[in-house]
Structure formats: structure tokens, C-alpha cells
Amino acid sequence: MRFATRLPGLILPLLLATFLAAASLPAHAQTVADIEAAWRGWMTMNGRGAGGLAVLHQGRLAHQAVMGGEATSNAVPLASLSKAVTGVCVAGLIDPGRLSFDTPLSQALPRTFARLGAPADPRFPGITIGQLLVHRAGFDRSEGGDPVTGQLGTYLRTATATRPSIDEQLKWVLRRRLPLAPGERYAYTNAAYLVLGAVVEEASGQDYESYCRTTTLAPLGVQGAALDPRWRILSSYGGWRMPLADYGRFYQAFAANNQAIGPAARRWMMSPENKQIGGGAHYGLGTLVRPTQGGGNFWHWGSWGFNLTGAFDGPLHIAYATFAVRWSALDVNIAVYMDSVPPEGSARNELDNALGVAARKVTRWP
């Protein structure tokens, strides 16, 4: 059976008018909720049951989401995202001239060396602030483990994790010889940022936490930040805790015109000279940097997993990961927390890519 396909004369013009009107309407607006959908999809695909997400646009909170009983107001531990706090805190000492990127530790830590003893390696006092910031200070995890966190298990059997203990940990670093010559190559370690915590304390005359909270975090609108009471020992290399929205506010320090980083420190941060790690990226002020015409992309992962039954504080069992990213061309910052540690490699890249694709498609921000 064949059906007639010819339309009556009046119906065709009406249908054509309807089609043209529909074509003139704007396409479905992509919203910040699509970023949440991308995050939830990645969490589900990778078996992550609990976590949180905060999205900031132009420095203002645009969206928050949680999974698995978390709350958006919860302060979450940040692990190595803490390094950026330390990096920006150190940058605040650069432009006023209290330190320079070329300042050697012999000038930055004379009172610390007098108190703790001279370093075992004669090259140590020549390490510069810049080399510490970009993980080119001569430390190397591949040779004997991280000079700091490699010894925590033994230390925490008889001592608490609830005190920063920068001096105690620094003694471990000072007793070891450097596997590499300072400046030789990039080798990521927690030791470099522990030493920077000591630099902040000696340069400021204050404890690390108080100084960075008042001079770096508070001016950026961060009110809920403190060292994690359970893990204050991680201090300047992994100890900060704050709501994800607050970390997004802090990450606005990397916006091109933000005064949290002065002009001299910003020029140094954006230059790849002696900072390259490959793929067009380099390490800067506690975060990875890829310069772009829009001002640069910034990102970093953090994770902390620790299991010790016979600890001084009682059983210590923890595992979590964090991720932060800023796309300057979009003026968007995203901070993510999850209650387990994903493997390094493709899964982490997939989260970065999924969030970036969704963020670039947003046509209507709150």
C-alpha cells in the first residue's frame, strides 16, 4: 500500500514557517551542570564512590557537587595541592625583596643550620629557592625513596602526626647526601617543599601555617583553611585542608592580573627556562604550567595513602586524591576530591580532558 505524500497547499507554508522559526532559536545552552555530569561520569567509570567538585568562573563560585555522603561545606585534605599554597606564599617574599629565586639556602636558612647542624652534603647550602620550587634541588625519590615521607612510617610509631615537626623532618633531609647535583634535572619530591616551609618560617619569623594563612590565603577570600589536625606533619608539602570552593578561590592567584603573585614572581613562574618537564609544560610555584595565549593552563594532582596499625596516634589508615586545574582563557578553576587514589596515567588524563571539554562548551554561566 502506498500513502499519499503530497501536502495540501496551506499546510506546506505553515510547516516551512515553523521550521524557520525553530532554526532561529538559540541552541540548547550548555551549562556548568554539564561539568558536573562529566565529573560524575568519570567517578562512576573509575569506581569512585565519594567525593566533591567545585567550579569557579571569573573567581566566583559557579557550581558545587558531592557524592557519597560528602558535604559541599566540608574541609577536605589536599595532599600535594598544598604545594601551590607554599609556592605562592614564597612568591610573596620575592617581590618585596626578602628573598630572590637565586637566594641560596646558606643565606635563607643560617639560623636553621645553626640550630639543626650543618648539612651532610656540602652542596646543600648552595641550593637556591628557585631550584626547590621547581624540584631541581638534587633530591630524587628513585634513590632511597623520598627523603621525608620515606621515613614517616618509622617516625610515626613513636611520635604524633598532629604537629608540623618541620625541624624534625628537616633533620632527615640534612643527614643525607644529594643523589643529584642541584639544578641537574627535575625530580619531584616532598623534601623540596618541606625545606621551603622552613624558608618561610625563617624569613617571616612566624610559623608556616599562620604566615601563609594570613598573607596568602586570607587576601584571596579563603577563610576555611588550616593544616589538617590529623596530618599537620605534612605541613608545607601536603598538609593543608579546606573546602574545595576555597581552594578554587586560592587558585585564582594564578590569574594574570591577580596581585597575590607580584610581577617579578609571575614573570619567573611563566618562563619555562630551567623548569621544563616535557610536553610543553614546566613546573612553577607548586603547580604545573603550560603557557598559552590566554595566560596559561595550571594543574596539579595530589594523593595521600598511608596505613600504619601500630602508630603513636592509633591506627592510621587513609587514602584519597585531589585535582585542581585552571584554564586562563576560560577564567575557570576546578577543584576535585575523591576518597581513593586513582592510578597515575590514563585515568587521570581522562578526568582532565573530560572536565576541559565540558568547561569549553559552557555557554551560560550563573
Which of 48, 4, 88, 72 lies closest to 243 in space, CA to CA? Answer: 72
Confirm if 248 and 333 have CB atoms less than 8 A apart.
yes
Strand partners of residue 61: 56
Residue at 9 is within a domain: no
Rounded CA gap, 197 and 287, in Å? 16
CA 184 – CA 178 distance, rounded (Å)? 11
| 133 touches 90 (CB < 8 A) | yes
**How many angstroms separate the CA atoms of 108 and 114, rounded?**
12
Which pLDDT score, from 0 to 100, does residue 88 have? 98
- Residue 355 Cα to chain centre, angstroms: 16
Residue 11: inside a domain: no
Low-confidence ranges of the chain (pLDDT < 70): 1-29
CATH number for the domain spanning 165: value is 3.40.710.10
**Residue 236 domain-assigned (yes or no):** yes
Residue 5 covered by a domain? no
| Cell (9 digits) for 99 | 628573598
**Predicted pLDDT at 159:** 98
Indicate the number of domains in the chain: 1
C-alpha cell at 179: 643523589
Residue 328: inside a domain: yes
Q: Which three cell numbers, joined as nine digits, stand for 151?
A: 621515613
Q: pTM for this one?
A: 0.91
What are the CA-CA distances from residue 134 to residues 45, 114, 139, 288, 315 (Å)?
33, 26, 11, 9, 34
Query: Beta-carbon neighbour count of residue 14 at 10 Å?
Result: 11
Contacts of 11 (CB under 8 A, 6+ apart): none
Q: Is residue 24 part of a domain?
A: no
Residue 10 lies in a domain: no
Asked if residue 340 belongs to a domain, the reply is: yes
Q: Rg of the chain over CA atoms, in angstroms?
A: 24
| Distance linking the first and last C-alpha atoms of the chain | 55
Place of cell 521550521: 19
Q: Which has the closest alpha carbon to 253: 265, 244, 236? A: 265
| Predicted pLDDT of residue 294 | 81
Tell me which residue range forms the domain holding 180.
31-361
